[in-house]
Structure formats: C-alpha cells, structure tokens
Amino acid sequence: MAFKRERNANIYNSVNLTSVTLNATTSTTILAANTDRMSYVISNDSSKDVWIKEQAASVDDDKKGEIVWARSTASTEPDQMYHGEVSAIAVSGTPTIYIKEV
C-alpha cells in the first residue's frame, strides 16, 4: 500500500464523500471490494489518528496498516491499487473519516 499524505488538507468541497465513524476496538469496513477501483481518498478531519488496512474487517482488530493522521488526507497511488475490501480502526476514541472512491 502506498499513500500520498497531506497534513491539514481538506477535500470536502471538491468531491462527494462517504462518512464512516470508527472506534478503537473493532475494525470497520470502509470500502467494499471493487475490481473497478482506480484510487481512493481518505480525509481524517478528526483529532484522532486512524489505521487503514487493505484487508477485510473480519480478519483482525489489530492497529496496523497505514496511518492517517488527525486532520490530514491520504490517497492511494493508482499504479499500486488494491481492489479488495478496505477496513479501518481508530487509534483511540470514535473519529469520523470521509472516503471517496474513484
């Protein structure tokens, strides 16, 4: 997985986003498997960091994968696209993240 990261980036006005509220104990599916996926963008406008995992939420509840820091945005690189289920888990608290798949 390769993410391009930007601190203090806000993508709310440029695309239609799906919101997902996470917690720190259970992995949550944020994107279903999609063979047509070209990229995805995650905006974390919360005050909590979150872990993004390119695996099904049912695999585990470990805090691993790629970190998306609080108040930052991360996007995938099209040449390394993963087409399976994508899940996430919060480092702490119950942050809401915003996702756009293209």
Q: Which tens digit of pLDDT belongs to each residue from 68-79?
A: 999 999 999 888
Q: Which residues contact 90 (CB under 8 A, 6 or more apart)?
A: 22, 23, 24, 48, 49, 50, 51
- Listed residue (28, 81, 79) closest to 58, CA to CA: 28
CATH number at residue 69: 2.60.120
The model's pTM: 0.84
* CA 89, chain centre distance (Å): 9
What separation, in Å, do the N-terminal and C-terminal C-alpha atoms of the chain show?
16
Question: What is the number of structural domains in the chain?
Answer: 1
pLDDT at 5: 57
How confident is the model over 1-20, as pLDDT tens digits?
Answer: 555 655 555 554 445 789 99
User: DSSP letter at 35?
Assistant: T
| Domain span including residue 84 | 3-101
